[in-house]
Amino acid sequence: MGKKTINTFSKAGIQFMDFAFVVELFPSPIPHEICDIPIDTNMDLVLMSAHFEFNELYLPSGQFVHGISEGQPLKFTCLDFVKWQLSTFNSQTLYFLANKTSTNIADMLDGDEECANDINFDPEAWLHPYGISDEDFQKGLAYIDRLKNECPEQLSSST
């Protein structure tokens, strides 16, 4: 079953199984407290990234992810499941996830064509997390939003 099938079943609700890891992103430095809950150990951080508006990435333990929707057992490939998750992520999560994994999403659109339409087109600068201005960060998020609309398959395959 592919990503589109997952979308169909997700509308009715799916409970997924078979995960080995969950990847979460946090602001730097890691906070000592989240929502009045002290962070004393690494385990205190589990499933807390949502408080910073980051999505969690669940990584399967094998080649397939099993699920159940309205009593019907389901089976998805690991790749389809990860692509589906990425397609549902907010732009902030994709922005930081791409930077944590050395993914290059700056070249997804034709740079020459984009520069002809916008002399200030510079996704390399907008998507660089170090020393970035708030203006460039917002431009980076807007660029990712545009990619989600114009080439969602390519975006979820490359991040």
Q: What are the sequence ranges of the domains in the chain?
A: 91-159
CA distance 134 to 141: 11
One-letter amino acid for residue 152 of the chain: P
CA distance 17 to 49: 20
Examine the pLDDT at 60 and tell me if it is beyond 80.
Answer: yes
pLDDT band at 158 (very low <50, low <70, confident <90, very high): low
Q: What is the pLDDT of residue 46?
A: 93
CA distance 64 to 85: 14
Please, are residues 81 and 6 in contact by the beta-carbon 8 Å criterion? yes
- Global confidence as pTM: 0.83
Examine the pLDDT at 142 and tell me if it is beyond 70.
Answer: yes
Q: What is the pLDDT of residue 152?
A: 83
Name the least confident of 21-35, 68-82, 107-121.
107-121
Q: What is the 3-state secondary structure (H, E, C) of the chain?
A: CCHHHHHHHHHHCCEECCEEEEECCCCCCCCCEECCEECCCHHHHCCCHHHHCCCCEEEECCCEEEEEECCEEEEEEHHHHHHHHHHHCCHHHHHHHHHHCCCCCCCCCCHHHHHHHCCCCCHHHHCCCCCCCHHHHHHHHHHHHHHHHHCHHHHHHHC
CA distance 31 to 11: 34
For residue 38, say if its preceding peptide bond is cis, omega within 30 degrees of 0.
no
pLDDT band at 1 (very low <50, low <70, confident <90, very high): low
Please, are residues 63 and 78 in contact by the beta-carbon 8 Å criterion? yes
